[in-house]
């Protein structure tokens, strides 16, 4: 199976040919997955895999150098509570704090991601969005999380959305681009599918559900629709696109159901943090609690683990 990220931007998808989503079928499929039980050994392996896929995030106006440094320390030292654990995939911060995170993470292998394009609203001129992106990349960001111009999308200005994503992708240089659709605002699964197709065609390396700033954020149903867009693109082109559900995923059981869905819809090749991420900082603590329980039969208090 191919192992390269999305190619250079191609043509804008025709909205008239976007597949219509079977809402009942999507919801029934997810309901079946949620009934699955997982045996102990597989559960432990799955939780460790999910931990390695988390992007720890701090995106508040009150963020400081010290707060980012603490988050980076947590990202690198999860195994302090239980030996043999992986690090998380990335730490995500605002562009102005990328350099702080880059220095703190050093040679740990944990990526530095940065939000861009006037996150979370996306309401800024394109020049500002491009400057925002270039600044984050020049500061050392390995990954850029951009938000689409949702107002333009709601107005039906799909070509504008496509062109903007393509321009941001070019500004990323070697950094990977995650395109946030803010699915909780899109209204229907059909629009989620259209937004996914536009982002993929415009050069997204990842498609991502949410900013985490509105509700609803990630759901398994919306993620399944997006996985189908990724699958169809792969079947047409042989190119793999990554996926990131973000916001509201707090429990390890839920994360395991996501991983089941990814494996069954896309294949085991996607069960790697190069191709799948969770934007769910609080999930890390629940996984740590569950792994501790599996190791010694006792739950630690939630206060035992650091808050983000």
Catalytic residues: 145, 208, 244
Phi, psi at 305, each rounded to 5°: -100, 145
Q: How far apart are alpha carbons 135 and 182 in whole angstroms?
A: 23
Q: How far apart are alpha carbons 239 and 294 in whole angstroms?
A: 38
Q: Largest Cα–Cα distance of the chain, in whole Å?
A: 56
Percent of residues in the chain assigned helix, strand, coil, to nearest 5: 50, 10, 35
H-type alpha helices, 106-205: 126-139, 150-154, 158-172, 189-202
CA distances from 177 to 71, 114, 217 (A): 22, 10, 20
Q: How far apart are alpha carbons 178 and 279 in whole angstroms?
A: 11
């Amino acid at each position: 199976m191919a192992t390269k990220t999305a190619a250079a931007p191609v043509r804008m998808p025709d909205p008239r040919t976007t597949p219509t989503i079977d809402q009942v079928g999507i919801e029934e499929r997810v309901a079946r997955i949620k009934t699955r039980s997982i045996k102990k050994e597989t559960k432990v392996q799955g939780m460790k895999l999910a931990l390695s896929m988390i992007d720890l995030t701090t995106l508040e106006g009150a963020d400081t150098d010290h707060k980012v440094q603490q988050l980076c320390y947590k990202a690198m030292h999860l195994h302090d509570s239980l030996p043999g654990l992986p690090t998380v995939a990335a730490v995500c911060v605002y562009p102005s704090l990328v350099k702080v995170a880059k220095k703190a993470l050093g040679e740990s292998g944990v990526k530095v991601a940065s939000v861009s394009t006037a996150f979370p609203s996306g309401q800024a001129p394109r020049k500002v969005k491009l400057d925002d992106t270039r600044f984050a990349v020049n500061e050392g960001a390995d990954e850029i999380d951009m938000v689409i111009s949702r107002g333009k999308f709601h107005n039906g200005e799909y070509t504008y959305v496509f062109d903007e994503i393509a321009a941001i992708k070019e500004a990323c240089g070697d950094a990977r681009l995650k395109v946030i659709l803010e699915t909780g605002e899109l209204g229907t699964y059909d629009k989620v599918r259209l937004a996914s197709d536009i982002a993929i065609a415009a050069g997204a390396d990842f498609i991502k559900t949410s900013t985490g700033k509105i509700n609803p954020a990630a759901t398994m149903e919306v993620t399944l629709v997006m996985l189908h867009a990724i699958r169809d693109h792969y079947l047409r082109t042989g190119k793999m696109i990554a996926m990131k559900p973000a916001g509201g995923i707090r429990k390890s059981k839920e994360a395991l159901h996501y991983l089941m869905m990814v494996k069954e819809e896309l294949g085991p090749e996607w069960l790697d943090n190069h191709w799948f991420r969770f934007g769910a900082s609080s999930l890390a603590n629940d996984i740590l609690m569950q792994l501790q329980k599996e190791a010694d039969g006792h739950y630690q208090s939630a206060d035992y683990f650091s808050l983000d």
